[in-house]
Amino acid sequence: MDEYQALQEQRRWQSLEPHSYENFVIGIMGLGVLGSKVAQRLASFGFSVKGWSRSKKEIAGIATYSQQQFADFLQQTRVIVNLLPSTPDTQGILNKTLFAQLKQGAYLINVARGEHLVEEDLLEALDSGQLKAATLDVFLQEPLSKQHVFWQRPEITVTPHISAITLPQVAMEQICRQLKAFQAGEAISGVVNMARGY
């Protein structure tokens, strides 16, 4: 759609060759609760989806990779979606080394944390054509400064940290359920491992 938007601005009536599902590989970085759901939903639409996480996960219909298989995961990836937690190991992970391993003309979607992205490396990858476009929902400094170069780049879509808005009523219900389960001695989910940072 970004290409059709550019054609519209030029008032050009032109059909583009569609991508095949098999060749439009989507890579999900981070296979926690959110990443697993995103991967499964995309696969249900017929996309070729693969996922990468610190430890190898088993998800039906998804090719999964562990930390040691990062290069294999990146190969042939056309769209990279970042849903990693923010830890010292993941800071700056979206960098020129990663971009260079993606398929030429790849797309980046970062909906995790701003500190994952090396901004200068993104701009360089866009300038060289290694990346075709990026959608960014999170930034090092928020709100994004009105003078920031990202606003001026047509290949970058900026959204104001809206990818996972917490609804207060829903959150309170979840917290109450967890507290009741904890008090009853039942197993609870979503407990942060302080050593890992997520």
- Tell me the pLDDT tens digit for each residue of 26-52: 999 999 999 999 999 999 999 999 999
Q: What pLDDT, on a 0 to 100 scale, did the predictor assign at position 50?
A: 97
Exposed, middle or buried, 81 (CB in 10 Å: 0-12/13-18/19+)?
buried
Q: What pLDDT, on a 0 to 100 scale, did the predictor assign at position 85?
A: 95
CATH code at position 132: 3.40.50.720
Indicate the SS3 state at residue 91: coil
Regarding whether 147 and 114 lie in a shared domain, the answer is yes
Number of domains in the chain: 2
Regarding whether 177 and 159 lie in a shared domain, the answer is no
Regarding whether 107 and 25 lie in a shared domain, the answer is yes
Q: Which of 54, 148, 153, 161 is catalytic?
A: 161
Rounded to an integer, what distance in angstroms lies between the CA atom of residue 175 and that of residue 173? 5
From residue 96, alpha-carbon distances to 11, 131, 145, 166, 191 in Å are 34, 10, 24, 32, 33
Q: What pLDDT, on a 0 to 100 scale, did the predictor assign at position 1?
A: 82
Q: What pLDDT, on a 0 to 100 scale, did the predictor assign at position 105?
A: 95
For 126, other C-beta atoms within 10 Å of its C-beta total 19
Q: Which of 113, 148, 177, 196 is catalytic?
A: 113
Active-site residue, 161 included: yes
Which residues of the chain carry a pLDDT beneath 70?
none
Q: What pLDDT, on a 0 to 100 scale, did the predictor assign at position 75?
A: 94
Q: Decide if 133 contacts 107 (C-beta within 8 A).
A: yes
Regarding whether 89 and 130 lie in a shared domain, the answer is yes
Regarding whether 123 and 180 lie in a shared domain, the answer is no
The domain of 185 spans 166-198
Q: What is the pTM of this model?
A: 0.89
Amino acid (1-letter code) at residue 126: L
Regarding whether 83 and 60 lie in a shared domain, the answer is yes
Active-site residue, 11 included: no
